[in-house]
Structure 1
């Protein structure tokens, strides 16, 4: 009787583990953070920078497009510096607010001396307050895609 009960428990346990596809042992790719669009993202202290990209017609000047969310309780200033060009921009973001740059509804953050290749990448350094700065590689896109054609400077 005990042997039959033990065999039934072992069989049920085997079916449960086999039927789970070893999910309890397998790496879960859905837990990885990724950028679901063409731009790149970064966290700089309490500021969350999302979908940063540059839209340019010829690579000479560009429109920096991104959104910045301040998850903190204090107002913050994000410093954005193009590493090769040396241009620096400051963007104020109030506590708990989101600022969108370069969209159809917002003024573009125009980079006049971009000197980048369309389809290439530009190194951008982000700094907020005393938080450690972050360097990101931002793609330079043109207006061939319909979602970017109105964003070309």
Structure 2
């Protein structure tokens, strides 16, 4: 009984079944890559960070916009998923820099065209391109610390937001 073989680039024979399996794998991979499969959805949340652990409040896309590194605008979307008005407190180095009341079952968005003007944080001492640790707390006693990006106005949607 003889086994059909093909020759590798090294000159050594390869059993025909192995060669066929390798070619089939390459062919299937090529065919599947040509399929119109949907790509993973893009993260459209922006350049900020989500602050978790404050339920029923949600803080999304939190960031600071600055032009001088000393004062910055607090940009974020804040969602109140409860049936009561709630206050979100933001601290920097232990000092309260933002206190915002969010109405029951509502969303407050700071920054951007047609949105609420963002609160200004003084004594930021953080250059664009860095991060700064902010504290976030809600009335139920939740207290979360998170590194928040500090950006300049080079992104289109941040233009005009720096104080």
Q: How does the TM-score come out when normalised to structure 1?
A: 0.71
Post-superposition shift, 1:74? 1.4
Post-superposition shift, 1:91? 0.4
Partner of 1:62: 72
Is there any run of 5+ residues in structure 1 with no aligned partner, and where? Answer: 1-29
Higher relative contact order (CA 8 A, sep 6+): 1
Output aligned runs, 1:96-111, within 5 Å: 96-105=105-114, 106-111=116-121
Is there any run of 5+ residues in structure 2 with no aligned partner, and where? Answer: 1-39
CA contact (8 A) 1:45 1:131 kept: no
Aligned residues: 120
Instruction: Give, in whole Å, the separation in 2 of the partners of 1:97 and 1:80.
Output: 19
Q: How does the TM-score come out when normalised to structure 2?
A: 0.67
* Residue 146 in structure 1 maps to residue 146 in structure 2: no
Partner of 1:23: none
Post-superposition shift, 1:59? 0.5
Output aligned runs, 1:2-151, within 5 Å: 36-43=45-52, 44-83=54-93, 86-105=95-114, 106-151=116-161
Partner of 2:23: none
Instruction: Give, in whole Å, the separation in 2 of the partners of 1:68 and 1:116.
Output: 23
Deviation digits for residues 128-150 of structure 1 (CA, Å, limit 9, x no counterpart): 11242111110000011222122
Decide which structure has the larger Cα Rg and report it: 2
Deviation digits for residues 41-67 of structure 1 (CA, Å, limit 9, x no counterpart): 113121000000000012111111001
TM-align CA RMSD: 1.9
